[in-house]
Amino acid sequence: MPALHDPAASRARTLTIESVGAQGDGRAKENDIWVSVPFTLAGERVRVEGAGERLTLLEILEPSPERAVPVCRHFGTCGGCTLQHMAPAPYAAFKRDLVVRALKSRGLEAEVAPAWITPPASRRRATFAARKTGKQVAFGFHARRSHALVALEECPVVRPALAAALPRLREIAGFLLPAKDEIALLVTETASGLDLHITGASPGVTALARAEAASAALRAGFARVSIEGADVLTERRPSLPAGGASLYPPPGGFLQASAEAEVEMERIVREHLKFATSVADLFSGCGTFALRLAAESSVLAAEGNAAAIDALKASVRAAHGLKPVTAEVRDLFRNPFGARELARFDGIVLDPPRAGAAAQVAEIAKSRVSRLAYVSCDPATLARDLRTLVDGGYRIVRIHPIDQFLWSAHVEAVALLEKTP
């Protein structure tokens, strides 16, 4: 392949796309080197330019029959979606294949169900960015592979309440932005209204500016505003349904992005653990699974984030009719539950961050817990950890791909495992 500084390397030329890669870009071979071309599909002949492994799409010469018309005017510029050009059936197959490929990379075979796809306009939380340039506030999502911001006029992924709040969010951000700084605004639709958590605000932002931002949020009907984890204004306590209980998230606390995806994950997990009388919920967050499982089982919830555990305890105190729930702060990366500690449980649900749960999984593999539901947001670390569990005597019953980040290259999965004593 020509050297990157060679002017000829960036000339326009024609390629045939062979497949869609794990990041959602089309993949082609050029001079025996794999290159990626965004917004393309397998089988398409395209005209490209550029050098290196990432090329720029100039024209689609022969489109794939699997191509769809993007639904958003910002597609191709905004970095939020990468696959709106793929028709629904191949899109679902692509999501499932991400999980299958990850399993194969670890020498694993298992039943993988068809991917469950979240509907449009269902994402209940999203993180927007804001930056001040002169007197103007740029607000929206980052452009693809760029620090530039795309000013959003619409977003077909998020709930209508979030889309309608975009002008107000831009106004609120303006009070907290000194020149050149960028802040992040995480907004969540809850049963009580919108919950806003702001990070990246400069320490130099005055108390008056914070009060003006909170006042603007109050006028807009927001339930709560918090900055860097500290509550600035609570008009109504944010709450989310969690089975028969209510979950009260802490400022900026982790939640599933789609309520519909959360309900589907809960259905799969509860069905698998329905005969368990005592369940360990590891990496529990603020209680997404624990509160639901406690309708039928006693639950021990463990999580390294103290604010999440405090929120879970508050949710348990406010609930009625639950089985006993014990919640503790514990760093499961450095201090995982040992096989002997796990002996009193007959079910485990595991929902770690993207890094997976290597240390905790190693202990589970040595345990005699009969049923395990592993909820993963990264197929690669899921496959790594499943290899450990299978080598420890577990059998993969089934894996359910869950697509809650619509039109992205991201997929989650719920893996169900059993161990026979």
Three-class DSSP category at 238: coil
CATH numbers and ranges of domains, the chain: 1-67 (2.40.50.140), 92-119+258-418 (3.40.50.150), 125-234 (2.40.50.1070)
CA 252 from centroid of its chain's CA atoms: 14
Residue showing tokens 């649900």: 349
Residue 100 has pLDDT above 50, yes or no: yes
Predicted confidence band of residue 359 (pLDDT cuts 50, 70, 90): very high
- Of the candidates 37, 45, 104, the residue with the CA atom closest to the CA atom of residue 76: 37
Rounded to 5°, the CA angle 278-279-282 comes to: 155
Residue 319, phi-psi category: left (phi > 0), alpha (psi -120 to 50), beta (remainder):
beta
Regarding predicted confidence, which is higher, 370 or 233? 370
Cβ contacts of residue 199 below 8 Å, gap of 6+? Answer: 183, 184, 186, 227, 228, 252
Predicted confidence band of residue 205 (pLDDT cuts 50, 70, 90): confident
Q: Taking the C-alpha atoms of 155, 160, 161 and 163 in order, what is their torsion angle to the nearest 10 degrees? A: 20
pLDDT of residue 177: 86
Residue-averaged pLDDT of the chain: 93
Q: Are strands 193-199 and 125-133 parallel, antiparallel or unpaired?
A: unpaired
Q: What are the residue ranges of helices labelled H in 64-117?
A: 88-105
Residue 13 has pLDDT above 50, yes or no: yes
Q: Which of 64-73, 135-144, 321-330, 353-362 has the lowest mean pLDDT?
A: 135-144
Rounded to 5°, the CA angle 201-204-207 comes to: 85
Rounded to 5 degrees, φ, ψ at 37 are: -135, 115
The string of DSSP letters for 245-292 reads EEE-PPTT----SBHHHHHHHHHHHHHHTTT-SEEEEET-TTTTTHHH
Give tens-digit pLDDT for 187-201. Answer: 999 999 999 999 998
Regarding predicted confidence, which is higher, 176 or 178? 176
Residues tagged active-site? 377
61-to-31, 37, 47, 124, 175 alpha-carbon distances in Å: 21, 14, 7, 38, 48
CA 173 from centroid of its chain's CA atoms: 24
pLDDT of residue 5: 41
pLDDT mean over 242-254: 94
pLDDT mean over 287-313: 97
**Burial of 266 from C-beta contacts in 10 A (0-12 / 13-18 / 19+):** buried
pLDDT of residue 204: 78
Distance between CA atoms of 168 and 153, rounded to whole angstroms?
Answer: 13
CA 182 from centroid of its chain's CA atoms: 22
Residue 214 has pLDDT above 50, yes or no: yes
pLDDT of residue 156: 95
First to last CA, the chain: 56
Distance between CA atoms of 288 and 266, rounded to whole angstroms?
Answer: 8
Residue 6 has pLDDT above 70, yes or no: no
Residue 7 has pLDDT above 50, yes or no: no
Distance between CA atoms of 291 and 155, rounded to whole angstroms?
Answer: 32
pLDDT mean over 191-215: 89
pLDDT of residue 132: 83
pLDDT of residue 3: 36
17-to-30, 69, 103 alpha-carbon distances in Å: 10, 19, 24
Q: What is the per-residue burial (b if ≥16 Cβ within 10 Å, else e) of 191-228?
A: ebbbbbbbebbeeebeeebbebbbebbeebebbbbbbe
- Of the candidates 280, 331, 278, the residue with the CA atom closest to the CA atom of residue 305: 331
Residue 215 has pLDDT above 70, yes or no: yes
Q: Which of 157-171, 183-197, 209-223 has the lowest mean pLDDT?
A: 209-223
CA 416 from centroid of its chain's CA atoms: 20
pLDDT of residue 23: 92
Q: What percent of the chain has pLDDT over 90?
A: 82
- Predicted model pTM: 0.93
- Return the axis-axis angle of helices 379-391 and 88-105, rounded to nearest 10°: 40
